[in-house]
Amino acid sequence: MESFVDKSIPPNEMTAIHQQLLRALLSANVPFSFVDNPEVIKLFKMMRPSYNLPSRKWISTEILDQVHKEVDREIQKFAAEAKFLTLSGDGWTNISKQSMVNFIITNEKRQSQIWKVENFSNVHHTGNIMFKAYKEVGMEFGTDKWIGFVSDNGPDMAKAQRLMREVS
């Protein structure tokens, strides 16, 4: 390691490293406090002495905001380039007993993007409420590309599907 030459990291490379660190932490389900662990800090210093890990607070604010904006742009581009879109979704209860609903858009090439995951814990899941939620998501991309709406066949979702057909 004595022959290793460490040069300063340009700002654009530093941003890319921080964003990739966030993506790695999220994809591996590793808590942000990982970066505050002395052994982790030592490991990164051994690999690149000039690199300073961002704090968990900075990861959870600045870096997360940057990555969120980038992902949002990618999804907007995905939707804009699609000839047709299908909106699908599903609900579940997470480990914290929160009622969650996801919204997924799929293009004509069968490529999908998760558009949103919303907490519906304080909302009664009636067919009318679910219809309104799906309609609002659909309107974010306009109405000219939608060719379908997919959900499970629970009574609330079945009603939301019926209401969607009535509107189109």
Q: Where are the domains of the chain?
A: 11-75, 82-167
Per-residue confidence at 42, pLDDT binned at 50, 70, 90?
very high
Q: SS3 string of the chain?
A: CCCCCCCCCCHHHHHHHHHHHHHHHHHCCCCHHHHHCHHHHHHHHHHCCCCCCCCHHHHHHHHHHHHHHHHHHHHHHHHHHCCCEEEEEEEEECCCCCEEEEEEEEECCCCEEEEEEEECCCCCCCHHHHHHHHHHHHHCCCCCCEEEEECCCCHHHHHHHHHHHHHC
Beta partners for residue 148, in sequence order: 86
Mean pLDDT of 69-86: 93
- Residue 164's CB: how many other CB atoms inside 10 A? 19
pLDDT of residue 159: 87
Mean pLDDT of the chain: 89
What does the pLDDT look like over 98-152, one tens digit per residue?
A: 999 999 999 999 999 999 999 999 988 788 888 898 888 888 887 788 888 888 8
pLDDT of residue 9: 87
pTM of the model: 0.74
